[in-house]
Amino acid sequence: GENVEQHPSTLSVQEGDSAVIKCTYSDSASNYFPWYKQELGKRPQLIIDIRSNVGEKKDQRIAVTLNKTAKHFSLHITETQPEDSAVYFCAASPNPQNFVFGPGTRLTVLP
């Protein structure tokens, strides 16, 4: 089955700097890669996703890149703000019914 690894497990950046979180997956059949943001005690919220027919997707300060050959994808947050502090989860999926989540990255943006 699919196995998703995520690095780093914790990340601290200064406000205004960029943050990058990387995930690797094992199943070449996976073709959908969402990213979720979870604030303490709240639900995971979808922030961006990418499908395997696209190499990069951007939404304002957030971007995701995908390297299918190497089986890894990354989340990039530019101009970080304190409200970006949260736990971020990546997931890989061959279909919406079979998400496999990474272990999460705790991002702290220092003011």
Partner 1 sequence: GAVVSQHPSWVICKSGTSVKIECRSLDFQATTMFWYRQFPKQSLMLMATSNEGSKATYEQGVEKDKFLINHASLTLSTLTVTSAHPEDSSFYICSAIGRRVETQYFGPGTRLLVL
Question: Considering the rule CB under 8 A, would residue 2 count as an interface residue with partner 1?
Answer: no
Question: Considering the rule CB under 8 A, would residue 103 count as an interface residue with partner 1?
Answer: yes
Question: Considering the rule CB under 8 A, would residue 29 count as an interface residue with partner 1?
Answer: no
Contacts of 96 (CB under 8 A, 6+ apart): 32
Amino acid at 25: Y
CA torsion angle for 42, 47, 53, 55 (degrees, to 10)? -120
Question: Considering the rule CB under 8 A, would residue 97 count as an interface residue with partner 1?
Answer: yes
Question: Considering the rule CB under 8 A, would residue 50 count as an interface residue with partner 1?
Answer: no
Among 45, 81, 82, 110, binds partner 1 (CB under 8 A): 45
Number of residues that bind partner 1 (CB under 8 A): 19
Nearest distance in Å: CB 68, partner 1? 19
CA distance 104 to 89: 5
